[in-house]
Structures are given as C-alpha cells and as structure tokens.
Amino acid sequence: MSDPEDKKKGHTLADHLYGQNIVHRHDEDSDHDHDHDYDFENDDVPLEDNPLWRQDFVSLMTVGIDIGSAGTQVIFSRVNLRRMGEDLTSRYYVVSRETLFQSPVALTPYQSEERIDDEKLGAIIDDAYAAANLHPDKIDTGVVILTGEALRRENAQGIAAILSEQGGEFVTATAGHHMESMLAAYGSGAARVSSDEAKRILNVDIGGGTTKLGVVEKGKVIATAAVHIGGRLQVVENGKIVRLDPAGKHHAKRAGFNWNRGDAIDMADMQTVADGMADALVAALTARPLPHDVEHLYLTDPIVAFGRIDGIMFSGGVSEYVYQREDRDFGDMGPRLGRAIRERIARGAFPWPVLPAGECIRATALGASEYSVQLSGNTSFISAPGVLLPRRNLQVLLPPFVCADTIDADGLARAIRGHMTAFDVDAEREVALALRWTGMPSYERLAAFAAGIKRGLADRIARKQPLFIMLDGDVAQTLGHILREELHVDSEMLVIDGVVLWDFDYIDLGRIRMPSYTVPVTIKSLVFSEDPRGPRPRQRLHHHDHDHDHGHSHRHHKHGA
C-alpha cells in the first residue's frame, strides 16, 4: 500500500478531472493506481474503443477455481457489463459472459485422508494460468471455492488463502453449502432456463462429496440446501477400498456393509451401495415428512416444501453419467450412482420432468466466474485511489435506516453506531458502510445525510481511519464533497454508488478503471439463498425494491474459509 506522502507526488485522480480528461500521462515513478478500459493509441478507433461508449460498457477478466472433493478445475471468463443508461442510474449489470479457457478437470490431489496435497494443487492451478496464457495480474476478479468434502480437510483454509494470493490481486477464497448450491444453479444454466422459459426449476448438483439443491424461479435462486450424497465418498483401486469418507462408510452401513479402508470388496456391492444412495436422494427430494435416516443426511436445513416445480436439472460430476455424457470409470461411485439415478428417472421416481443437460461438471466453476461482480457507478468520490484501492475482505454493514422526506441526522448516526455494536466490529478493522438512498437528492437532505454519517463514524474519523461508504443511489460524488469540503472530514474516503450490498457480505474493491471511472466490487456473501445481483437486468433490484425481503428460512449466516 503506498504512503500518502508519496501519493501527493505521484499520479492521482485529480489528473483525470473525474474521468472527463481521458488523455493523461504517468510519470516514471508514479503510482499506477488504476486500470484502463481501453487503448488510447489510435484516434480513429472502432465504436467499442470509443471512450464514451466505454463509459457504458466495461469488460472484466474473471477466474473461477473450484476445488471439490473429487475434481479441481479452473475457468477463465470475460464478463461484459453495461450501464443502465435508460434508467438514468450509474448502475452496471452483467450482459454476457464468454469462456476464454477451461482447464481439464483434474482429480483433487490428496497427501492423506486428512490433507490435500497443496504442492500438486498449486501445480494444477499454475498449469491452467500457463495454458490460458494469462498472468494473475491480468485478472480483475475471481473466486476460489473449496466445496463439499474438500472443506473438511485440515489444511483447506491455508490452501484457500495461498491460492487467492497466487491467483491475482482480487481473487478471494470462499466456501459454504448454500453458496455452492447457488453457484451451481447459475453455472448449470438452470437460472437462465428458468428466466427464459418462466419455469420454476430444481437444480440438483451431485459432486464428489455432496449434493447441492437449488430452487430457481424467474432466474433467481430462492432456496438452497445440501445433502451428504456424492460420487467419490468411496474409491476402490485393484479391488480394495483406498478412500472411504465417513459419509461413505455411513452409506455402506445403510446398505448392510461394514466397510473399512483397505478391505477387498466386490464391485457388485458398490452398485448396491450406489442404489441405496440414489434411493436416499429420491427420498430427500420427495418424501415429506422426511424419514429420520434421510433427514440426517442433510448438511443444512432441508427445503421442507419445494412448491410447484416445472422441471429438474442435474449438474455436477455425477450428472455426466446421469445424462450419459461420460462412461469412464474412476473406481468410485460416479458411474454407479449415475446409472442408479437414471433407472429411477426411467421408472418415474421423481415427480417432475427431467430437463436436458446444461453445464454438468463445470457448473460451479462457471457460476463462480460470473456471480460475483458488480461495478460501481461512475459518479464516485475517491480522495486517494492509490491509498484506498485495492482493498480485500471488507465486512459490509447495512444500518437499518430509511430515508424519510426530512433526513434525521441523529437517527442515522444512532443507526450506524448501534449496527457497529450489534456486529461487534473491532474498532481498528476497516469496514464498508452500506447505505440505501431514496428520494430527492436535494442539498438539505444530502447535508443531513452527511452529518449523520460523520457523527456515526466520529471515532473512526478522529483516528483518521479510511472510510468506505457504499450507496445504491447516485449521490456518491456530492456526498463525498460535502463530507470533505463542508464537514471537513480528513480521513481518506471512498464513496461509491450503484452497488447493492447486504449485511453478511464481504467485498473486495479493485483498482479504479478509466475512462469509465468505475471500481470493480467483488461480492463474497459466503452463504445466501438469493442473489441480489440477478442474471438479467429486469430482475435486478431497482431503487424502489430495496426493502425487498432478501432472506428466507434457509439463509444461514456462517462464514467458512
């Protein structure tokens, strides 16, 4: 992080006049504090390189690294965002994603039952970057996800941290059953189908260690859960069990076998256990009330009532066998469980039609590469970009304050202080204060809003801590100027608009982008059941929707890696 004194001598945003003066120079030793959205070399540029066009259209390079209990894969994508110009807002939304490179799916390497082999895993990731011909510095945003049984390994958190450091400045590690269910539903294509065809779809993502369930309606994931059923809980080589997770032992016991690692077993017995797992999955989805032994297989609260379901879609590694897109046998339950599920589909065990395959084994990594990006509006106030950006892992706090016609500054200050106390926020820890702005942007209202923020953050301002203020409405620049010039707040300050955040989100802020004068915001809600970022513009939250009930009974606030 650069020193503020050095910053004064270097290259600052003042050189840009808030993005209007787009031709600028860097001194030899300047602090290069932003990324460029386009090349300045050629005056006679095509439309997509035109600076005015580029203020409305921005591309980000993203990576999704999915480390599951069975497979590890890396997907690089370009995500294209567009500003909602027709709504007179500075909000951006994702309009398209193109896959640039997909690594082969490698078996996740283990040193022992308890430890993932971090060296071999690092080599898999390095090879993917090399094969894609991409350097980590070129990555704008991304997610490393440890999922399913891989999360239980004793060195999982360390690995996540190393990979997010290696992967590029803005790649973050995250985990959680609910989140993975959501990513799978987006990545499989279930969300897109539900949006395009107005269907309510159940996505069933069967991985190596766990099965993730996601109910998707109108393009949004509205309920998630996870069940302890997977294709690689038991692995056999040369007729002997070489891997047996506790859940694998449990499933064997349900089928009448007392298996242990090292036992020689008959492959026909593997099919018997797989049949039992398929029956358990059918029961987990269709039997209400849930049988006692099946209820125990849920890793989250069960989805008690699915409501109307227009179709079921399978994703994850085992779905490759369900849809008969794969026939290789890796000595695990994958082909056997896939076969057993196919048989149950054929005899009508699932009460819903099975939809065609979307993205099967790649669903989670694809979902990770696109779920996470919002771009700030282009009316931001950023006092010192080189000092304030980039930032990682800022906890989001959303004080319960509603903008009335007359803003109550003391009420806002109380809401901010009370929320800090309720969340037990360490005084030294930097946080992102998220606020909803509604109503007219009159000077009187904004001045009172600014006064409330100043009083609410008085302790932090007294210590000259940097302030990070996130707004959904388009008033960031004016608010920042009032705080700095009229209320004389000396802290370095970033006020950005056009982003919708919630309590329990954690965010990363990327370097500022020119000429759009925007900041990439990577949002890492570790577990949530509905994604406010929605895959389609018409489903995004607009200003009048901000009281929308975001949670539901399956939203667990547990933070993993």
Task: Specify the amino acid at residue 494.
Answer: L
For the chain, give the longest Cα–Cα distance. 79
- Share above pLDDT 90 across residues of the chain, in percent, rounded to a whole number: 44
Give the residue among 534, 439, 404 at the shortest CA–CA distance from 84. Answer: 534
Residue 372: pLDDT band with limits 50, 70, 90: low
Run of H or E including 539: none
69 occurs within a structural domain: no
For the purposes of burial, counting CB atoms within 10 Å of the CB of 29, is it exposed (0-12), middle (13-18) or buried (19 or more)?
A: exposed
Higher pLDDT, 39 or 140: 140
Mean pLDDT across 378-407: 89
The phi and psi torsions of 296 (rounded to 5 degrees) equal: -65, -20
Run of H or E including 114: none
Beta bridge partners of 394: 507
301 occurs within a structural domain: yes
165 occurs within a structural domain: no
Predicted local confidence at residue 251, as pLDDT = 97
How many domains does one find in the chain? 1
What lies within 8 Å, CB to CB, of 161 at 6+ separation is 173, 561
For the purposes of burial, counting CB atoms within 10 Å of the CB of 411, is it exposed (0-12), middle (13-18) or buried (19 or more)?
A: middle
Kindly report the number of other CB atoms within 10 A of residue 87's CB atom.
Answer: 13
Alpha-carbon distance of 192 to 67, in angstroms, equals: 24
Q: How far is CA 143 from the centre of its chain?
A: 7
Q: What is the mean pLDDT of the chain?
A: 78
Task: Specify the amino acid at residue 560.
Answer: G
Residue 193 sits in which domain range? 180-360
554 occurs within a structural domain: no
72 occurs within a structural domain: no
234 occurs within a structural domain: yes
Alpha-carbon distance of 394 to 416, in angstroms, equals: 16
511 occurs within a structural domain: no
The model's pLDDT over 189-206, given as tens digits with 9 standing for 90+, comes to 898 899 889 999 999 999
Whether 60 and 54 have beta carbons less than 8 Å apart is answered as no
**Is the pTM higher than 0.85?**
no
CATH of the domain at 289: 3.30.420
- Share above pLDDT 70 across residues of the chain, in percent, rounded to a whole number: 75
The model's pLDDT over 213-225, given as tens digits with 9 standing for 90+, comes to 999 998 878 888 9
Mean pLDDT across 504-511: 77
The model's pLDDT over 99-133, given as tens digits with 9 standing for 90+, comes to 899 999 999 888 887 788 888 988 998 899 999 99
Above 90 in pLDDT, residue 307?
yes
My answer on whether omega of the bond before 289 falls inside 30° of 0, hence cis, is yes
518 occurs within a structural domain: no
Whether 471 and 509 have beta carbons less than 8 Å apart is answered as no
Above 50 in pLDDT, residue 536?
no
Above 80 in pLDDT, residue 462?
yes
Kindly report the number of other CB atoms within 10 A of residue 488's CB atom.
Answer: 9
Whether 210 and 148 have beta carbons less than 8 Å apart is answered as yes
